[in-house]
Amino acid sequence: MAPRSGKTTGLAIPAILDAPGPVVLTSNKAGGDAFTTTFDARAAVGTVWTLDPQQIAHYPRRMWWDILDSAHDLAGAKRLAGHFVAASVDENNSNDFWSTAASNTLAALFLAGASAGRPVTDVLAWLASPSDRTPVDLLADAGHHAVAAQLQGTVSGAVETRDGIYETSRQYASCLLEPEIAAWVTRSAKLPEFRPFDFAQSRDTLFLLSKDGGGSAAAIIAAAADSVMRAAVAVAERSGGRLDPPALCVLDEAANVCRISDLPDLYSHLGSRGVLPITILQSYKQGKRVWGDNGMDALWSAATIKLVGSGIDDIDFADQLSRAIGEHEVQTTSVSRSESGTSTSVSMRTERILPPDQIRALPKGKALVLATGTRIALIDLKPWYAEPSAKTLGPASDAATASITDRALAKLTQDDFGACS
Ligand SMILES: Nc1ncnc2c1ncn2[C@@H]1O[C@H](COP(=O)(O)OP(=O)(O)O)[C@@H](O)[C@H]1O
Ligand SMILES: [Mg+2]
């Protein structure tokens, strides 16, 4: 669905309000969006955790999450590095030499940090000085000899190559250079820790906020969402196969703020474990830019319910949908008059039920539903603001939006004051 067609108001928000268990939301908008609209309702059923590293809601830091928590094994460290790569480059460029080498180096450093219980800021320090032997030693101490040798190989290789790899790695992880951003993902003695495993068994809410095109900070958001989904699957596997109540993961504006590279693979595991992902994209093409042609096709097939709304500006996709919807027989009656009288003939002709041009012209608020085992249906979305509960949700959202403005203003005045004094 194109921008402003009802993705957030008609899908994300109603799903969150109906969720019986824990909820994760990724979003690139704070005021007047899913964050402000659902905040109070979700705070009534559990703890609300807000990860707002780029301060799009100017939300005070009241939590910390250990970004290295999932990097205790090589697979986890690689996935974490992958989030930083995916946030910085498109799928098409993620396989060149520098990206791959930088991704491997980041993974090795994350693994070293996690194994030794170091904060992610130490990883940054190691990135700044490639000749520092500490990560190699930590990896060896933790028994990761092959990774240690690989990192040692990179560090002692040709200087130009090494510097190129380290510079690329630093770019991928650049968001962590901002102390304000890094603070959200490093240990704090004063603040409560967000723990994905506890979260999966709660009715809490995790709001993951990040700027549109947020660059490498989007990696933190993707890593947190990924971490929660994997923790939820692990908890489900330990407790009889399914999470009960199920966890809802709304990846709103997924292509902009939540590029989980292996989401297509992950998708097929989630549903059967009671972890329900909703991935919201502006177009099929947007998905292809993130996951590649095959990845997006896999994601599309793995989703058991697909919704296509207004603003599809892709002729091939519209035609594909039109063909999937099918044809029907249309009766045409023709009347001919001659001297001997009038004759009527009836003939049947097959026609597309919904031709591509009508799919492209779907009005706002309408959507096609493609669900496994049923025919494609045309439905009306039910945006939250048109429901009876809007009477309470509307004012709550307005108040939450107003407090974002207040916090922004307070910060401005503080900064002005700081500059003057
Ligand atoms: N509280 C509201 N009352 C009436 N209309 C609204 C409200 N909030 C959003 N809208 C309208 O709903 C439309 C869809 O918004 P939204 O769901 O945020 O779009 P998307 O997420 O697809 O970009 C927009 O045209 C917006 O103006
Ligand atoms: Mg939206």
The tens digit of pLDDT for each residue in 17-76 reads: 999 999 999 999 888 899 999 999 999 999 999 999 999 999 999 999 999 999 999 999
CB-ligand 1 contact for 388 (6 Å cutoff): no
Q: Which ligand 1 atom is at minimum distance from the Cα of 37?
A: 1
Residue 187: CB partners within 8 Å, gap ≥ 6?
64, 66, 119, 193
Answer whether 1 contacts ligand 1 (Cβ < 6 A). yes
Mean pLDDT in residue range 209-219: 81
Dihedral of CA 307/313/314/318: which sign?
positive
pLDDT in tens, 321-364: 999 999 999 998 888 888 888 888 899 999 999 999 999 999 99
Average pLDDT in the 107-126 region? 95
Distance from Cα 398 to the centre of ligand 2, integer Å: 17
Strand-strand pairing, 247-251 and 275-279: parallel
* Alpha carbon distance 387, 408 (integer Å): 31
Question: Does 279 sit in the ligand 1 pocket, CB within 6 Å?
Answer: no
- Residue with the nearest Cα to atom 16 of ligand 1? 6
**HSE, side-chain direction, 13 A CA sphere, residue 396:** 18
Q: Point out the ligand nearest to the CA of residue 253.
A: 2
Residue 161's CB: how many other CB atoms inside 10 A?
13
Which residue did the predictor score with more confidence, 417 or 203?
203
281 lines ligand 1 (CB under 6 A): no
User: Taking 80 as the threshold, does the pLDDT of residue 91 lie above it?
Assistant: no
Q: Is 7 in the pocket of ligand 1 (CB under 6 A)?
A: yes
pLDDT at 31: 83
pLDDT digits 0-9 by tens, 135-175: 999 999 999 999 999 999 999 999 999 999 999 999 999 98
Measuring from atom 25 of ligand 1, which residue has the nearest CA? 4
5: Cβ below 6 Å to ligand 1?
Answer: yes
Centre of ligand 1 from the C-alpha of residue 10, in Å? 8
Gap between the Cα atoms of 237 and 245, Å rounded:
14
- Specify the residue with its C-alpha closest to ligand 1, atom 17: 6
C-alpha 362 – ligand 1 centre gap (Å): 16
CA 9-11-15 angle, to 5 degrees, is 110
Q: In what order do the strands lie in the sheet with 205-209?
A: 48-51, 205-209, 23-27, 247-251, 275-279
Task: Give pLDDT, residue 135.
Answer: 97
Ligand 1 atom closest to residue 10's alpha carbon, by position in its atom list: 17
**pLDDT confidence bin for 88, thresholds 50/70/90:** confident
- C-alpha 282 to ligand 1 mean position (Å): 14
Q: Over the stretch 363-383, which tens digit does the pLDDT of each residue have?
A: 999 999 999 888 899 999 999
Which residue owns the Cα nearest ligand 1 atom 4?
385
Q: For position 87, what pLDDT does the model report?
A: 86
Q: Read off the tokens for 137.
A: 């030693």
Residue 421 pLDDT level (bands cut at 50, 70, 90)? very low
Any atom of ligand 1 within 6 Å of the Cβ of 9: yes
Q: Does residue 384 have a pLDDT over 90?
A: yes
Written as six digits, the tokens of 46 are 């559990």
Measured distance CA(6)–CA(375) in Å, rounded: 23
Q: How far apart are CA 270 and CA 18, in angstroms?
A: 19
- Residue 394 reports pLDDT greater than 60: yes
pTM for the full predicted model: 0.92
Which atom number of ligand 1 is nearest to the Cα of residue 6? 17
List beta partners, residue 349.
330
**What spacing in Å lies between the alpha carbon of 395 and ligand 1's midpoint?**
16
Query: How many CB atoms within 10 Å of residue 201?
Result: 18
Q: What is the mean pLDDT of the chain?
A: 92
Tokens read off for 106: 């980041």
13 CA distance to ligand 1 middle (Å): 11
**What mean pLDDT do residues 81-102 have?**
83
Q: Cβ distance 83 to 215 under 8 Å? A: no
